[in-house]
Structure 1
Amino acid sequence: MAARSALLFALLVAALSFTATAAGDAPFIVAHKKVALSRPKPGVERLAVSLDLYNQGSATAYDVAITDDSWPKEAFELVSGEVSKTLERLDPGATASHVFVLETKAQGRFQGSPAVIKYRVPTKAVLQEAFSTPILALDILAERPPVKKFEWVKTRRKIWRAGVSCFLRCSVYLPGREPIKIWWGKSRQEETLIYLWFTVLVAGCLPGETLDS
């Protein structure tokens, strides 16, 4: 009786192990959807939609069909690419991308739906289905604050002046003395005065003189 129970337990463990292995030996599609907005001309919003796929599983997915038809045709015009694409296969660890471009003149807030990915697994009769990540709501043709060009010019001037000031200033370190900060003058006369001041401060005498005199 004990031997029979042990045999049944061993068979149960083997069956569970086989089921876990079969379930783990399958493709697992991860898809990321993103949209980039731009305005090629006033009153027109351009949407570059991209879908990045990655097979995170341990088996190959076949006949991978990508479909992103959540864009109403009465509001969005397809100007480049297609909203759907089919891949022959996607091996484990492999990636694939799909890009298409839309344009719209309809102003407002739009919430798109995730893209749908269907693929075939040889060990299963029905098609497998996955969904991409969702996207945030899009503000189509929303008002954007104008760029203040004059403020940018003023900022650049301030940065340039600060950079020049840092470049014209230096410090001299002498043994037993505090660091001496030097500002280079804007004119030849100012540079001469600074040179004389620095010579007297460091050497204790004017140029051409000696300490004995």
Structure 2
Amino acid sequence: MADKLVFFFSLLLLIAAVTADSPFIVAHKTATLKRLKSGVEQVLVNIDIYNEGSSTAYDVSLTDDSWPEDAFVLTNGKTSNSWERLDVGAVLSHSFELEAKVQGKFQGAPAVIKYRVPTKAALQEAYSTPIFPLDVLEDRPPENKLDFVKIAD
């Protein structure tokens, strides 16, 4: 019963946040693995930030520092970025690439998005979705590069 009550009040808070005259930030983080050659794997990270609220978010910043330096090397882009504003219904996208240094399972934390609402003094925070666990440099069977197609007579 208590779980249902907590869920109900959480839902009410969510509805109040969306219907109030303020930004409502939703962020989706994805990470995909790309095998370059044996023993070298790249992690491609993409974060999409949406404003589903009813007003513009200002001074939007993104930080994704969940990639430990002893396990990953940044090869392209930055793990953080900032924008002047995120209008209602708009989306911001940010991508970067890493190269894996060690083998193993990795679970990345959500990225942090901070933004300013004109009616509030303090910066607001939102979090992206977490990524699914990655099996970095996992031994995989070789892919068959040639697909044979039977041609009908």
The residue that corresponds to 2:3 in the other structure is none
- Of the candidates 22, 26, 30, which is equivalent to residue 22 of structure 2? 26
Unaligned runs of 5+ in 1: 1-19, 165-213
What's the offset of the Cα at 1:60? 0.6
Matched, 1:96 2:92: yes
Matched, 1:72 2:68: yes
**Alignment length (residue pairs):** 137
SS of corresponding position for 2:59: strand
What's the offset of the Cα at 1:36? 1.4
What's the offset of the Cα at 1:102? 0.3
The residue that corresponds to 2:37 in the other structure is 41
Unaligned runs of 5+ in 2: 1-15
| Code of the aligned partner of 2:66 | S
- Of the candidates 47, 54, 73, which is equivalent to residue 50 of structure 2? 54
Closer, same or farther: CA 84–145 of 1 in aligned 2, 3 Å: same
| Code of the aligned partner of 1:97 | S
| Cα pair 2:30 2:45 within 8 Å, conserved | yes
Query: Which sits farther off after the overlay, 37-46 or 122-131?
Result: 37-46
The percent identity for this pair of structures is 59
Give the TM-score normalised by structure 1: 0.61
In structure 1, C-alpha distance between the alignment counterparts of 2:52 and 2:65, rounded to whole Å: 25
- Aligned-pair Cα RMSD in Å: 1.8
In structure 2, C-alpha distance between the alignment counterparts of 1:119 and 1:147, rounded to whole Å: 44
Larger RCO (CA under 8 A, 6+ residues apart): 2
Give the TM-score normalised by structure 2: 0.84
In structure 2, C-alpha distance between the alignment counterparts of 1:128 and 1:41, rounded to whole Å: 42
SS of corresponding position for 1:77: strand
Closer, same or farther: CA 91–41 of 1 in aligned 2, 3 Å: same
Q: Would you tell me which structure has more strand in proportion to its own residues?
A: 2
SS of corresponding position for 1:32: strand
Closer, same or farther: CA 121–81 of 1 in aligned 2, 3 Å: same
In structure 1, C-alpha distance between the alignment counterparts of 2:69 and 2:84, rounded to whole Å: 28
The residue that corresponds to 1:128 in the other structure is 124
The residue that corresponds to 1:184 in the other structure is none
Closer, same or farther: CA 59–149 of 1 in aligned 2, 3 Å: closer
Q: Runs of at least 4 residues of structure 1 off by over 2 A? A: 146-150
| Code of the aligned partner of 1:111 | Q
In structure 2, C-alpha distance between the alignment counterparts of 1:38 and 1:141, rounded to whole Å: 10
Q: Deviations over 1:107-130 (max 9, x none)?
A: 000010000000001100111000
In structure 2, C-alpha distance between the alignment counterparts of 1:94 and 1:45, rounded to whole Å: 33
Matched, 1:81 2:51: no
Q: Deviations over 1:29-88 (max 9, x none)?
A: 110000111011221110010000110001110000100000001110000000000010
For 1:154-193, list aligned pairs within 5 A.
Answer: 156=149, 159-160=150-151, 163-164=152-153
